[in-house]
Structure 1
């Protein structure tokens, strides 16, 4: 097994410069777009203390698994055991943790094996569309699995088949083409990249005679590819807005393509939500827009410069803001897809607001409505919630389907304001816990817009939905450290938020530390636990605590919900989240700043093992762990951008995963299983 030395890390976390450039347009090297000067926790503490006893009295929670105050499920006094063995752990997490490494393979625990489900370039419709890295064409790529898969979900079909849904966040042209010149891409290379973005719907089934895993059913009628030429429908209150109209679409209702899709979610009615994230990097020449209002709004979304890195503006004028200043407003939405209907058109749901969406995970409220939690993945940006006006109707009747199909077009959009409950002088920036022993507090959901009614002075409802960041600025939302994936626990209802990192926290003129973001130059991130008042997703208030403060367990600034740091795996830069059937939280990482490959980690959130982080796998060299999906007998991850390290290229890649030899690296969906046929984390 080849082990490699990681390059000197100069970017946020452990990402390479190549990844930062291709994934987010070097966002970490630019000033944060939020220059609103919103108050942060330190400014709000005095008011919080005056209300502290009242709020805590109101935090008695109802519902399955709810507890009175966060942290009440701290581990027992007895030390449960060391994670170097698999026995002493919560059910579902009884495996021997893998050790941090830089191997160019998928490393899994003893007693487990892995395989690939589907790779970049694998055919979806015709076996003859075979992948050839030296002969990629736009036509073939539109019929193949796309590049850099991120979100991963499964929906049931009859029998042993399932629908696999996955998005394709971005392209890494240096790794895709053997003769790529960033300054002068060819028309064909650009069109292949357009085709490699987007979404895939693939029917999969267990292999015949194989021990485990899944394989694509090539040519199935439900297989679909959405790419940069596919039509998407704008729906909801902002559809048709003058800010959405372009030369090609004067009605402002049909968009070609979806860009930079990151995480997402699955709805109770069987649809897929996918989130458009770093769309700003695809649009050029914002510095040529003369209208100061338009220019300011572009800048708030990270668009203020000239040419883009991919040069798409040279091949399609809609990516040139000097020619089409409204085109960028047509991206940054949550998109809903019906994978069961191969004739359906995906919907960009404007009622959920426009920003750099990382997540869109639904939860049913106590009165049957739908709440969707969403993070805006940017340094010092905000955390949101949408609550539908209508109620969810279970079942497959025509009436239920019609009702549920419109749920995300009407409702109320909220932004979060967090308040710490400790004196400002106790939040020192070092990560030392305050005197009450926890980073915790209360919060409120501030209503921004409901249907066509705006609650933000000076902004119409359309403007709130289109320029949601400005609305958050105006109402004093709390600036957070890159809120990424958000997942409610299916057992307790507690909501978990991955705050990946923020190396600018407390530096220069940037906002200082606060109780939810307690470290200066926060390069390892944290996981926040939020409990809605009454355990109701429709509540206007909540309590919160930092469940994990990530990093090297030997560093006193790290915290693991009170669990012994000598008995946890090191974890850095939490990104995507999911739960298993036991109620354990699983965390994938992006940009591990501890000098090892990214990985997937399981951690109990309740009981005596609460906070015991255990590493289940590491992804290959240069890759990011995405997805993930955990069921009783298999764990799935999307392995994104393997070999994407500085100095790597198509001709000289730093990874050859998954095919080995001298092959080019290929982003892929991978599956892991217990070789003795047992359940995940339960032994043989």
Structure 2
């Protein structure tokens, strides 16, 4: 917990409470990850009604891991740790853990290490700066260069995918995106007011994605990078991307460097993602706005409003990239920001292919791009817009997915994300508005629940939003959703369909402004004012068909301290659950259990990875599997039969930290700077 001085009790590292941010995250994190988004008003100032204003008639309500191994960004021997179970978290007499969840929960802590349950091993798979491509040099924190970084593992991994490699029995393909850089703790001698060209270009190279072949150790959960494999690839902030779909070529996407509006350099701030049925990887561009500068130079009122809705900085950017490339200066290239904020698709099996930005999926701060097939074989894709009071989206392709590995089938499938219908969600509660008072107290019917609809925004070249063309809907999707009357949510982040039931799980990370003066108040889908701990929503579409335009929903978890009366764990006994705050990335194991990674836990402890059954007598029984080091966020995760992977992102990102004065020594120990990494965790075999 936080004591009155702002220290995390027992951590030994000062983490001051900063009222200007009003978040558990450090000011350093806020500055480099999202451009201090939480210190400013949310960009959504629309007057569309929120769901507490409308009460519809009540609906009837009815309601891939063995041994819990995890692939994570883990520490080396110096940073590894095993923790005992939390007090009061022991296994009740007569209970059996659900399949895949037979571990003693890790206690909340502030250790500068990856802490895993007793009986589990861990290993760092790859660190920021480790070689990926042939001729990549060994990492040297004091001799970094853009040339070296473009061949090394990037910074701050977020989404990860693990794919089979055909005809290679003991190898797999690890695809990882790199969300953002934190130059103050990356570079010795960094001056935020005067970065050097080499530092800036190195940061460009540290963004993007990595495709890496890894070799499995059949006797444990260890994974080893295969440096220089022909499939290995680095994609950066300067890699060419093709714009595809209905908005490609629009005048709103054209720049001096690209008068066609069809070819973009680079991808920025990649966050959640997904794997398509045809074997490509999707990745969402999230807080892209912070990289641009000088929006105040735009005077046209329509263009100005569009920039404001996406939170573009009016003055200089935090990283000062506009000093080194005109594309980051809105005064010189007003359309360049429109070329970011998309879902990108890469083919990890073809290192020479051109990555694509899919305009049919809309432009916003993308979190997640998880697919599910409709009953007639089309592709439905679920996406969150990670901003306070922004929205949940779905895309359904026009054409069906074709099975098989023929060239014709592959070419057909690679066009599925270019033509379809883009939707936004509207939620309606079934309880009287007087019972949704912002306290988090459960309404009289016993659940936060109700109905909802998917509102179509555009289909192909046809707009469903009055006053907006189809290309405007795709490029300024937030404004289209405002007009459509979508429900303002508490930062929708990862969205994941259940592999067996088809139910869709949505993490709402937090929203400090819910119920604040002049802001949307509580509603049944977002029931707490000043929501600092977040919640998890469960959505079931009509007839369990991903093409349906209506759904039922309920809140499965209302997160926080179990002793807080505003929390809810699907009706499970709260005295037996692990505290959980700020749910972010999610994944399922092969038994259908939900695994939740947290970001910004506001309970005074480190972030971590949690598991919870979604059905049966232990539905809602949250158990903490691991914690990540000081200042880090838990990213990934991947849950397989043999291991769990997580990516501890931005370790040591605490206020006042620099390369000279690191806030964490993970994973390399004394004398090093913190290095975001990927970690694998496995259950040790009994002798």
Name the CA distance, whole Å, in 2 between partners of 1:171 and 1:301.
21
In the TM superposition, residue 3 of structure 1 has moved relative to its aligned partner by 3.8
Matched, 1:85 2:91: yes
Partner of 1:222: 231
Query: Which digits, 9 at most, give the CA deviation of each residue in 1:442-472, with x for residues without a partner?
Result: 0000000000000000100000000000100
| 2:2 is equivalent to residue 9 of structure 1 | no
Cα distance between partner residues in 2 of 1:18 and 1:304: 18
Question: 1:599·1:615 contact (CA, 8 Å) conserved in 2?
Answer: yes
Aligned to 2:121: 113
The answer on 1:353 being equivalent to 2:362 is yes
1:29-87, Cα deviation, whole Å (9 max, x unpaired): 10010011111122112xx13xx3xx54xxxxxxxxxxx623xxxxxxxxxx9742396
Contact in 2 for aligned 1:382/1:479 (Cα 8 Å): yes
Quote the Cα distance in structure 2 between the aligned partners of 1:35 and 1:160: 52
3-state SS, counterpart of residue 534 of structure 1: helix
* Residue in structure 2 matching 1:628, options 626, 631, 637: 637
Matches within 5 A, 1:209-248: 211-248=220-257
Counterpart check, 1:414 vs 2:423: yes
Using structure 1 for the length normalisation, give the TM-score. Answer: 0.93
Structure 1, gaps ≥5 residues long: 57-67, 71-80, 678-683
CA distance, structure 1, for counterparts of residue 14 and residue 515 of structure 2: 27
Q: Aligned residue for 1:322?
A: 331
SS at the partner of 2:472? helix
1:28 aligns with 2:34: no
- 1:132 paired residue number: 140
> Could you tell me whether the CA contact under 8 Å between 1:4 and 1:103 is conserved in 2?
no
The whole-number CA distance in structure 2 between the counterparts of 1:285 and 1:128 is: 36
How far is the alpha carbon of 1:372 from its aligned partner? 0.2
Structure 2 portions without partners, runs of 5+: 1-9, 64-86
Matched, 1:671 2:677: no
TM-score by length of 2: 0.93
Q: How far apart are 1:632 and its partner, in Å?
A: 1.5
Contact 1:285 1:320 in 2 (8 A): yes
Residue among 186, 193, 200 paired with 2:203: 193
CA contact (8 A) 1:12 1:502 kept: no
Picking from 288, 291, 303, the partner of 1:282 is 291
Is 2:438 aligned against 1:432? Answer: no
Give, in whole Å, the separation in 1 of the partners of 2:302 and 2:312.
13
- Provide closer, same or farther for how the CA distance between residues 249 and 94 of structure 1 changes in structure 2, counting only shifts above 3 A: same
Q: Quote the Cα distance in structure 2 between the aligned partners of 1:108 and 1:4.
A: 21
- The CA distance in 1 between the partners of 2:200 and 2:178, in whole Å, is 15
2:158 to 138, 146, 150: 150
1:574-630 per-position Cα deviation (integer Å, ceiling 9, x unaligned): 000000001000000000000000000000000111000000000001000000001
The partner residue of 2:621 within 612, 617, 624 is 612
Does the 8 Å contact 1:127/1:218 carry over to 2? Answer: no
2:307 to 298, 310, 325: 298
1:151 partner SS: strand
Task: Write the distance in 2 (CA, Å) between the matches of 1:295 and 1:220.
Answer: 47
The secondary structure found in structure 2 opposite 1:395 is coil
- After superposing the two structures, state which structure 1 stretch, 576-585 or 668-677, moved more: 668-677
Provide the aligned C-alpha RMSD in A: 1.5
Distance 2:221 2:335 in 1: 48
- Indicate the larger mover: 655-664 or 635-644: 655-664
Q: What does 1:368-379 correspond to in 2, within 5 Å?
A: 368-379=377-388
How many equivalent pairs are there? Answer: 650
**2:44 pairs with 1:37:** no
Equivalent in the alignment of 1:651:
660
1:225-624 alignment, distance < 5 Å: 225-624=234-633
Return the offset for 1:206.
1.8
- Distance in 1 between the 2:113 and 2:97 partners? 26
CA distance in 2, matches of 1:508, 1:306: 27
Separation (CA, whole Å) in 1 of partners of 2:485 and 2:36: 27
User: Does the CA contact (< 8 Å) of 2:50 and 2:488 recur in 1?
Assistant: yes
CA–CA distance in 2 between the matches of 1:255 and 1:244? 9
In the alignment, the residues of structure 1 paired with residue 479 and residue 514 of structure 2 have an alpha-carbon distance, to the nearest angstrom, of 21
1:103 to 106, 111, 120: 111
Distance in 2 of aligned mates of 1:319 and 1:289: 14
Are the equivalent residues in 1 in contact too, given 2:136–2:151 (CA < 8 A)? no
> Are the counterparts in 2 of residues 333 and 353 from structure 1 also a CA contact under 8 Å?
yes
| Whole-Å separation in 2 of the counterparts to 1:669 and 1:408 | 30
Distance 1:472 1:133 in 2: 45
2:160 is paired with a residue whose SS is strand
Q: 1: CA distance between counterparts of 2:349 and 2:386?
A: 30
Q: Measure how far apart 1:675 and its partner are.
A: 1.2
